[in-house]
Every structure is written in C-alpha cells, then in structure tokens.
Structure 1
Amino acid sequence: MAKPVILAVDDDPEVLQAVARDLRREYGDRFRIIRADSGMSALEVVQQLKLRNEPISLFLVDQRMPHMGGVEFLEQALTVFPDAKRALLTAYADTDAAIRAINGARLDYYLLKPWDPPEERLYPILDDLLDDWQAGFRPPFEGIRVVGNRWSPHSHQVKDFLARNQVPYQWLDIELDEEARQLVTLAESSDRQELPLVLFPDGVCLVQPTNLDIAAKIGLQTHADRPFYDLVIVGGGPAGLAAAVYGASEGLDTVMIEREAPGGQAGSSSRIENYLGFPVGLSGADLARRAVTQARRFGVEILTPQEVKRVRVQDSYRIVELSDGTEISCHVLLIATGVSYRRLNIPGTEKLTGAGVYYGAAMTEAIACWWRRCLSGRGCQLCWTGSHVFLPLCQ
C-alpha cells in the first residue's frame, strides 16, 4: 500500500521548506510528505491524489496566503478528504481567526509560528492527530476503479472484460455512490453520457474506453512478437487453450488469438462439472487461469483482445489478417472459435443487451443479485435483481 500523505501548504518558501524538513525527519518512514506553495496548487494535488486513490492523513496549512487563505483551502479540501486531520499554522495575531475556524472548517488544532523546538511544540500534537486518524483508517482499494451506470451496456462491457481477464477492479455506481459522483466531477467528466470512467492506480483516467484501450493500459499482449509461427490458433476457449498447450509442448512456435478473454464462453461459467480431470468441478475463471498459466509456461503467445478478420492461403502458408491490419503467417492454422449465443428475436433487445438483458449469466452481475428458495415449491432457485425477477427454468 502507498504511504498515506501529509500535505504541507505555505506560500513562504523558507517556512515551507522548514515544515517539510521537520515532517520528513519524524514521519518520513511512515508517511509521504508533499508540499504545495499555494492553496490553488494544493487543491490540484488533492484532486490528483483522490483520482489515484491515495489517502491524505493530515493537512498542515498556513493561514495567511494570498488568493486563498488556509481556512478557505481546508473547507474545499475536506469535501474530497473529509476524514483527514486538519492543523493550521498561524501567527499570534491570527489566533482569533483560528479559533473561529475550529467550528467553520472543523479545525482539529492550530499551531503558532515558530514551532521550534519541534520535539516539544510540533511532534506531540501531530502524533496525537495522526494516531487518531490511523485508528479509524481503512486502506483504500488498490487497483482499477470503474465508475458507471448499472444499466449501461458499455459499463457492462468494461466490467466483463476485466473480470474475464481476471483483473481485479472496484465497481462504483454513479446512481448509488457519492464517491462515484465526486470522482466523475474531479475527472472533469460530469456528463453521465460519457460513462464509464475507468481510473487506474497511476491516476490515468479513460472515458468510455475500448477493450483495446484497457488492454494496452493493463499490459495485455495485443500484437504478435514475430511475423511467422508454426501454429496459429484462432479462439481462446478450452479447445483453443488445450491445442496451444499440446502444440507448444511439442516444440511448435505457437500463438493464440482471442477476441475477448482466454477461456471463451466457458470462462464466464460459475461452475463446470463435466470437464475431464476435475471430478468435483471448478469455475470457468479457474479453468481459464490454470490453462493460461500452463500455456504460457510452454511459451505460447496469447493475443487478447484481438480479432481475425480474414484468412488466405499463399503457396504453402496460411496468412491471418488481424483487425488492426497486421498479418501473421504460419504452417498450420487451427480455428477453434466455438459458438455464439443464440439471441432473442424480440424487437428492442439489442439496445437492452448488457443493460438488463444478459447472455451467459455473466459473473460481473452477481454482485447485483441475491438468491432465495423458489416460490413455486419445486426446489429450484429464483434470482431477484432489484425490481427485476428472473423466473426459474422450470416455468
């Protein structure tokens, strides 16, 4: 976990340097010390830290600053980090303003300048504030955050892509979560039509990203390392993964191309009980994870998300053209594309696909479902999703 931040703000360079020096000497091993020379620049730091999901433990702010005073800064910063402790650096003449700020800006403490020696006049006070903050601190989620609308097909696509590629993420619903609305505002994407918003740990924000955009950011391989292979496999379901393992284990240079995520449709199954070698069953995600690990151990290249557009034969070679226009040639081409779901032939279902109509009972929607015994008394399961009811198969 990244170190919690102590943010020091002062417009006087010498005072700011002295504050940062004393803070680093005492707290640098446990906290990250950041300094800002104005209230406006400090607010920018606060917004960036929020987008990167890095917590602020303490604001140590000078009261007398041009354009934005310390109390005004704290009032705005606390809307972003309401649990952070607040201490104000004041001159003797500003003590009345500091006392008023205890109620107005929920100030925890004010310190008179100068604070020398810090061992007596600074550290004991900050120790108490930081201990109090740490007692109620819960480490934030360290990973990708997806902000969107539950009924958005694009949001469903992003969640499904991350889940099927076994990338941990946190889902924030714009309609239910105040933090989600705050993040959208900070990312300057206030229009809900521009969701989903995907935030990465380094602070990068992608608005309505494609699967290729996300893949490039999280480090998935989307381009082949070389132009020729012994074996090219199109499709990354159980059959394609098995062929990749068998081919590579026999010494063939092998590349597997998958349009969505390794595991195919089977990868989204909550339980598979008819797969050879697993008598008690396993989840589709676990099967995909095991197979991908085994394939990569033998040196298989896995391109995902990538799609084959056309295939042609030239002399004794098979040439595969990918969606990005690049080509791969090979001795042997194995097509293991599986099947596609049969879609409902009902007007309007295409617009609702991923926004209430789902194929394959995607695991990404499990968080929005809960189960109870079937009311028909037949002993099957009934799935309730908010106000929508999915009837048991027996009806």
Structure 2
Amino acid sequence: MSRRPVLLTVEDDPTVGRVIARDLRRRYGQAYRVVRAQNGPEALEALRELTVRSEATALILADYRMPGMNGIDFLERAMDLAPRARRVLLTAYADTDAAIRAVNDVDLDHYLLKPWDPPEEQLYPVLDELLETWAAGSRPGFDGINIIGHQWCATTQALKEFLASNQIPYRHLQGEDARALAQAAGIGDDAALPVLVMDDGVVLSRPSLRDVAERCGLATTAGSPFYDVVVVGGGPAGLGAAVYAASEGLRTLLVERAGVGGQAGRSSRIENYLGFPHGVSGADLAQRAREQVLRFGVEVITTAEAVGLEARGDGRVVRFSDGTEVTAHAVVLSTGVWWARLPADGAEQLAGLGVYYGAAAHEAAGCKDQDVYIVGAANSAGQAALHFAEYAKRVVMLVRGPDLRRRMSEYLVTRIEAHPSIDVRTCTEVTTCAGDGHLERITVTDTRDGRTEELPADRLFVFIGAQPPTDWLSDAFLRDDRGFLLTGPALLDDDGRPPRTWPLSRSPYHLESSVPGVFVAGDVRAESVKRVASAVGEGAMAITLIHRYLEAT
C-alpha cells in the first residue's frame, strides 16, 4: 500500500489513550499508522478526513464511557464513514452487558476489558485476527482521484474519459464505498454530482474539465503570445510534429482539447506499429510520446479549444474559446477525426448513457460478465472487440457490410474469428436505441431482407465513419466534400495551377493547406492513410516542410 492503513483509538482519558497508542505502535507500528482522538466528535472528524483522503481505516478502538457520545453511539456513526473497518469497544467489567448488546446493535466485532495486561495475551491475539480479516477483504491503498457519480451520467463519463486520456489515476466509486465517501465529504444532494475528491482531500462538485485540469497541474493557457510552431491536436500526428519541431530548436506549443494520444491513445492494443513486436497499448504509446515532447521542451496546454485561425501578415494567429490567442510563424493542424454519430432512433438521446463513441481501454473492466455490442468493422472496432472479450461475457460485433476483411487488418480478423466469446453479425445495422434513463435495448435490422430483432443491451460502443473537426476553420481553408482538409497536390486544378486565392508564386508544399504556412498532418487531411505510423510520419514531414517554408519567407 502506498500509505499505511490507520488504527484509530478513541479514549477521553489522555493517560489511558497514550498507553493504548503505545501498545498498538509496539506491535503494529511498522505496518499501520496509529491515530488518536479524545472524544467521539473529534474521532468522526478524523474519520471524515481519512476517508476523503482515501486513507484506509483498518481498526477502530473506542472506549465505552466517554462524555457527550459514548463508544457505542460513536461506533454506530463510524460505520457510515468506514464501513470496512473492524470495530472494537473498550469496556470496564461493569459494562460488559452493554458491550454484549452492542455486538448485535452496531455489528461490533469484539469488546475488550480494560486493563489488558499483558497485551501479548489479552490484546494482540484479538487484534491480530481482526486485522487479518480486514486485510483479506480490503482494497489496496489508492493515491488518485475518486469520482462519485451516477453510472448512467454523460458528465461522469466525460470526466472519466478526460482523466484517462491524461493518464491521471482515478477510480469511480459505487455502492457502499461511494456512500461512505459522500458522507465524509459532506455531499448530501444528488444535484451536486458528479463529484471529484482529489488526493489531497479537495472536493470539486460538477467541475468543468478546465477546473479539473488546473487542479491536476495541467496547463490550460499558453505561457507566451508567440511561438515558432503551434500544433493543434495531440494525436500521433501532432505528437510527431511537436517532437520533431522542438528537437530541431523550434519553440513549440501543442494544443489539445482533451488529452494527448487522440483516438490511438484510446486503443487497447496497437500491434502493427513498428518497433513493438508484442504490441503496445494506446495509453502507453501516448504517455511515452507525452514524456518525449516534454523532454524536448514542448509547451503543452489542454482543455484549450481552438475556434479560429487566420493569417496576419507573416504570422499565423490561433484564437481560443476563452478569448486568448497566440501567434506563430507556422501552424500544424493535426486534429484527427471524431467518430460519426450513429444514425439510429434514440441514439443521440442516450449518448454517454450506454451509447458511447469509441472506447478507452479502462471501460472494459466495467463490462464484466455483460453482453457488449460494438458497431464498426475497421481496426479500432476489432481491437476493442478483442479487449472487451477479456472481460465481458460476450462481445457482439454489428457489421453493416458482408464481412470484416474489407476494412480490417487480417491479423485482427483471424483472431476475432477464432475467439470463442466474440460473435460477428454481418449485414446488420442498429436502427433503434431505447431505454429509461440509459440504454436497455437495441433494434437491429438485417440489411438483406429487412428483418428486425430487438436485443437487450446495456452498452453499445460505436466505431463508424469519421468526421473531421474542421468547422471552426474559415472558408479560406479548402476541404473535400466530407470536410477533410485539402493539401499540396490536391489543391491544384487539372492544369497544375493552385486555387485563385493562393497568394504565392510557388505551388503549395505537399502537406500545406490552402493558407500558406498552415500545414495538415494525420487523419484530418484528405486522402491520408488512417494508420498510426503514417500519422507520425506526416507530423515529422510537416516540420521538414515548415523549415522550407520559413527559409523561403
């Protein structure tokens, strides 16, 4: 455990309290931390603080005869704050009847008569057994953020995805643990949810992602008004561009709305990326890349949404939703793509409430022993299916086309076909999503004969299509009919001439957009290869072209 579990003693007589603490430290001081309190209210406040700070309380020893709040009343209230702790009442001989009744009334684990001399015979054997029982059923200590929120809550889901994408440890508490922490943190109203309890005990009710980022020490605004290169988007292409730019001496700002890694960072395992013969998780690859950009001195800001980009003289100005802006010699657009929305009745209303777009690897653990449905037939869907199959009772892939091989790599198809827990339903599309407050059932339609079938479903993960997030760019940026950015040769007409709006005598460089000095890398670029390796390569190539652009201006 990262922090020693606590043994809490409650005794109003200071002399007796010191003796109790001395005996406990003598036997258990190496493995446990002893905390003393002199009365019930003081001990309850200590328990609240311990619970909020995610410090485990293993054992509570409370004296029966205390003014204001006796030991039985205290232990009854302590159950709500530390339900897993073992509870011991300290009594005098005259109070044994009350102690015996407390065994049933407050689920007391044991009572001890004072004094217990020698402790080796009268104290330690009892506590040894109680601590062994506690340790067998306890959870490891946790240094991270605790989330209290409804399972079927889109805001809770967004917070979990943000923390996961930024490699910030967290756990989503449910049931008894959530109730205990909520009481300790003073949360009495569901309207306050979701709540984040930080590892230092600070409680954030319904925080924005920006609030969370700042509390976690992530930068949310640029530290300078000017850079050599601004990279918008922290997926593989953006990370590749940032690494090469900074390593070559360019002052670089990397801008990301959520967390580094992009869609690749959410992948459970990438097995066809050069240099990783046994595969690598998207989270691991993203974390390695983040460490690399920071080592080269890249400035990274998160929860920063770019809302405008324009040329002002020799500068390229990126405007953000908070009203700030930065200027750079050149810009790399590497915003990747978003999953297309599922065109099924009711799907939009249940987004985040059982219908999810993409899936981070951590989501699989919450699907234990469930039936999981995955819509899609490309590599991302295949990787998710294999990962979820390690946890879920059954994974059903719903594929609109006649087979998987049209868009999915053969190594994934082979493994999916051989997996006993994965079913593939081809020529199938989801036409309806329904449920009361969260997804409960879906209707699927056979595209060959129109037959429909209603299936019970708690979770549906969608991996279809790709929507480039380019609406925030002005009309000066030319796009194809799907919104992907045109670059280089794709901007030229049949006679090899650039568009009329192109202001320079030379033609656009290969990855250069219709606005000089703004380059495009990765999935957001029209006709790009939708693979991690190619995205990283385009990011590196963009920096080479930026050097050429800067030398020519």
Q: State if a TM-score over 0.5 links the two structures.
A: yes
Q: Is the 8 A contact 1:245 1:294 kept in 2?
A: yes
1:50 matched to 2:103: no
Aligned residue number for residue 268 of structure 1: 266
Aligned residue number for residue 305 of structure 2: 307
User: Following the alignment from structure 2 to structure 1, what is the Cα–Cα distance between the partners of residues 311 and 144?
Assistant: 44
Residues 133/275 of structure 1: CA separation in 2 closer, same or farther (3 Å cut): closer
User: Following the alignment from structure 2 to structure 1, what is the Cα–Cα distance between the partners of residues 213 and 21?
Assistant: 39
Residues 130/268 of structure 1: CA separation in 2 closer, same or farther (3 Å cut): closer
Aligned residue number for residue 243 of structure 1: 241
Secondary structure of the 2:357 match is coil
Instruction: Give the Å deviation of 1:361.
Output: 4.4
Q: Is the 8 A contact 1:374 1:392 kept in 2?
A: no
Aligned residue number for residue 93 of structure 1: 94
Question: Comparing 198-207 with 257-266, which one deviates more in the overlay?
Answer: 198-207
1:388 matched to 2:435: no
Instruction: Give the Å deviation of 1:391.
Output: 5.1
Aligned residue number for residue 152 of structure 1: 153
Match of 1:196 among 178, 194, 197: 194
User: What letter corresponds to residue 193 of structure 2 in structure 1?
Assistant: L
Give matches, 1:218-257, under 5 Å: 218-257=216-255
Residues 160/200 of structure 1: CA separation in 2 closer, same or farther (3 Å cut): same
Give matches, 1:336-351, under 5 Å: 336-343=334-341, 350-351=348-349
Aligned residue number for residue 27 of structure 2: 26
Matched pairs, number: 392
Instruction: Give the Å deviation of 1:258.
Output: 0.5
* TM-score normalised by structure 1 residue count: 0.84
Question: Comparing 210-219 with 254-263, which one deviates more in the overlay?
Answer: 210-219
Q: Is the 8 A contact 1:146 1:171 kept in 2?
A: yes
Give matches, 1:73-152, under 5 Å: 73-115=74-116, 118=119, 121-152=122-153
Question: Comparing 223-232 with 371-380, which one deviates more in the overlay?
Answer: 371-380
Instruction: Give the Å deviation of 1:255.
Output: 1.4
CA RMSD of aligned residues (A): 3.5
User: What letter corresponds to residue 295 of structure 1 in structure 2?
Assistant: V
Q: Is the 8 A contact 2:354 2:439 kept in 1?
A: no
CA deviations 1:241-282 (Å, max 9, x no partner) are: 111111112111211001111122333344556766668865
User: Following the alignment from structure 1 to structure 2, what is the Cα–Cα distance between the partners of residues 235 and 390?
Assistant: 36
User: Following the alignment from structure 1 to structure 2, what is the Cα–Cα distance between the partners of residues 346 and 85?
Assistant: 51
CA deviations 1:203-230 (Å, max 9, x no partner) are: 2222222111221232323233444322
User: What letter corresponds to residue 98 of structure 2 in structure 1?
Assistant: A
Question: Comparing 149-158 with 85-94, which one deviates more in the overlay?
Answer: 85-94
Q: Is the 8 A contact 2:266 2:361 kept in 1?
A: yes
Larger Rg: 2
User: Following the alignment from structure 1 to structure 2, what is the Cα–Cα distance between the partners of residues 312 and 140?
Assistant: 50
* TM-score normalised by structure 2 residue count: 0.62
Residues 108/236 of structure 1: CA separation in 2 closer, same or farther (3 Å cut): closer
Instruction: Give the Å deviation of 1:164.
Output: 1.9
Query: Which structure 2 segments of 5+ residues have no match?
Result: 373-391, 404-416, 418-422, 449-553
CA deviations 1:153-205 (Å, max 9, x no partner) are: 111111111222233332335xxx33334433443334334322222333222
Question: Comparing 187-196 with 294-303, which one deviates more in the overlay?
Answer: 187-196
Query: Which structure 1 segments of 5+ residues have no match?
Result: none
Match of 1:184 among 182, 185, 193: 182
Aligned residue number for residue 206 of structure 1: 204
Q: Is the 8 A contact 2:91 2:111 kept in 1?
A: yes
Secondary structure of the 2:356 match is coil
Aligned residue number for residue 71 of structure 2: 70
Q: Is the 8 A contact 2:83 2:180 kept in 1?
A: no
